[in-house]
Structure 1
Amino acid sequence: MPPTLEFSADPSRLDRDRVHVWLAEESYWATGRTRETHDAAIDGSRNYGVYDTDTGEQLAYARVITDGVTFAWLCDVFVANEARGRGIGIALIEGVIDELAPLDLKRIALTTADAHGLYERFGFRSLDQPEQWMARMGAATR
């Protein structure tokens, strides 16, 4: 029987240790991220989790960087390996989108190498003019 899931935007519920391991050791985009950097990122962002209501265990994480008015960047989306394939990613992104909806943001951006189908379910699509977007990459790996 799949767990009963609960979405939460309460940062005090985050299992910071677990989320750091997920990102620093298991993700393809934040490998090697220090705990100090990770904690600073959490503290400067809106944070979301999906939890098993029976055990309280955190099963997924996402954070959003936003000005709260016009733009948001959805990042660090991660579902625990043992919890994948059970709709937890869908519950996470649905919760994040619902939480951001009252802000009436002009744009929510993200990057992904492998979850296009998940995000397309929620209206994300490739950029019409990707050549207009640019990034300045830092020298340090974070």
Structure 2
Amino acid sequence: MSAVLRVSNDRDALDVELIHDFLTRQSSWARGIARATVETSLRHSLCFGGYLDEAGAARQVAFARVISDYATFANLVDVFVLPAYRGRGYSKALLRAIDAHPQLQGLRRFTLATADAHGLYAQFGFTAPLKPQTLMERYVPDLYRRTPAAAE
């Protein structure tokens, strides 16, 4: 039986080093991202840390952040569970907390991008865009690897 994941919005409890390390070294979407960029993104987002109590101390094992105006729109980004803790339902616990958060209720549009977790997000009401022809983006996938700050 897996331990219960505690999800918190306490920005001060976030393990910024762990978040930066995962994003810059292990993620497929933010490789090479500078720590300063991560810190700025955390300050301007609603962050969700997932914690386990191990040996009497809280250890962060999961993370997600939401960018929102808290009235009409939100975008879910940077969702991860550390590899050693996957397969235990922690991503679902994280998404349940996001889904229930009071500031994220009644939004007209809630978006995300995923390469391989469609089944997970579908359980929380996410679908392919109804009108993809109306959506546009400006996307620079290797931006963080091309900037001098990426070496930080």
Aligned to 2:91: 89
C-alpha distance after superposition, 1:13-68 (max 9, x if no partner)? 10000011111110000000000111000111110011003440001000000011
C-alpha displacement of 1:140: 7.1
Question: Which of 63, 68, 71 is matched with 2:70 structurally?
Answer: 68
Percent pairwise identity: 39
Aligned to 1:125: 127
* Alpha-carbon contact 2:74-2:109 (below 8 Å) kept: yes
Provide the C-alpha distance between the structure 1 equivalents of 2:4 and 2:24, rounded to a whole number of angstroms: 27
Counterpart secondary structure, 1:53? strand
Counterpart secondary structure, 1:128? coil
Give the total of aligned pairs. 142
Gaps of 5+ in 2: 145-152
What TM-score do the two structures reach when normalised by structure 1? Answer: 0.93
User: Is 51-60 or 131-140 further displaced after alignment?
Assistant: 131-140
Which has the greater radius of gyration? 2
What TM-score do the two structures reach when normalised by structure 2? Answer: 0.87
C-alpha displacement of 1:101: 6.1
Provide the C-alpha distance between the structure 1 equivalents of 2:140 and 2:95, rounded to a whole number of angstroms: 28
C-alpha displacement of 1:104: 1.2
Counterpart secondary structure, 2:101? helix
1:38-117 pair list within 5 angstroms:
38-54=38-54, 55-100=57-102, 103-117=105-119
C-alpha distance after superposition, 1:113-136 (max 9, x if no partner)? 010011000000001111110012
User: Is 102-111 or 125-134 further displaced after alignment?
Assistant: 102-111
Provide the C-alpha distance between the structure 2 equivalents of 1:110 and 1:123, rounded to a whole number of angstroms: 12
- Matched letter for residue 133 of structure 2: E
- Matched letter for residue 69 of structure 1: A
